[in-house]
Amino acid sequence: MTFIRTLIAAAIGTAVLASPLAAVAADAYPNKPIRLVVPFGPGGGTDIVGRLVAPYLSAKLGQQVIVENRAGAGGAIGSNLVAKGAPDGYTILFTDTARTIGPYMQKDLAFDISKDLQPLGLIAGTPLLLLANPNIPVKSFAELITYAKANPGKLNYGSSGNGTPQHFAVELLKAASGIDITHVPYKGAAAVVTDAVGGQVDLASATPAPSAEFIRTERLRPLVVMEPKRLASLPNVPAAAEKYPDVVLSIWFGLMVASGTDPAIRKKLETAVNEVAANPEYVEKLRTAGFEPNSENAGQFKARIERELKVFGDVAKKAGIKPE
């Protein structure tokens, strides 16, 4: 009995000591450089935004934030590095919508985004458009729905690849509207848009960045945007949600840390992320690079992730998409 009491007393003593130590560690954070892991290669959208964010985050935290590209397996390698790494706040994941699509495209993922990662905040985004070659017999979103229903399987659309947000956005629209248009996967956004201009595909699911010039010169016709409301830059283009409220999907960019990170450290990071998102200079640079400000706090970001996991699961099931 005495031995058991001794063990209990020791455990209590350890907990009492550990609590102040954790508080001291949180107060001292950060006291060394921080890695911002981008789970894709250099030059892509996630990398571009991550490198825009890093210096502003450095200024807020008082330590250098170093971007580290850890590409592979559709972003799973870099994401797993953070998810299974030390929960000390010195390794942060900078990721995008691919993380909520990943579970429905990849078998045997080594991490669970809901359990192994904790959101800090969403910091940028870019809308998704469905664009038409001007020569197809569709001049508006309403005409697309009517024509596609009358001619199932006749139209096709290109996306930047299987399992991309561009792919899932149109599959979400198909499920909501009951239209049948054929998916043509490409390897990259530029090729999709170029082929839509050339008439190799009827429609292109794309972001504004690779398509803006073609829209301006009327070589592509924007039919619909997958946002909750119309874009200020394209006020005459309807949002899909006007007719189908559940058809809302954009590419987002956000930051996450390993689960188990000290709440005080998370709070410091969350505050820094929110302040960067509100910085007018950062917002201007973001827009110049072809992206849009899109800020959500940790709670809002977590709710988005949970919602998208459910929506994408339903989309994958209806479209017959299976993880590989």
Is 4 a domain residue? no
**119 plus 258 within the same structural domain:** yes
**262 plus 218 within the same structural domain:** no
Is 20 a domain residue? no
Q: What sign does the dihedral 245-249-250-253 (CA atoms) show?
A: positive
pTM of the model: 0.84
**282 plus 142 within the same structural domain:** no
Query: Number of C-alpha atoms within 13 angstroms, CB side, residue 304?
Result: 23
Q: What sign does the dihedral 209-166-224-248 (CA atoms) show?
A: negative
Nearest to 277 by CA among 120, 127, 65, 118: 120
Range of the domain at 117: 32-125+252-319
Mean pLDDT across the chain, nearest whole number?
Answer: 91
pLDDT at 324: 79
**Residues of the chain with confidence (pLDDT) below 50:** 18-19
Let me know: does 90 contact 35? Beta carbons within 8 Å: yes
pLDDT at 323: 85
**139 plus 157 within the same structural domain:** yes
Provide the β-strand partners of residue 296: 122
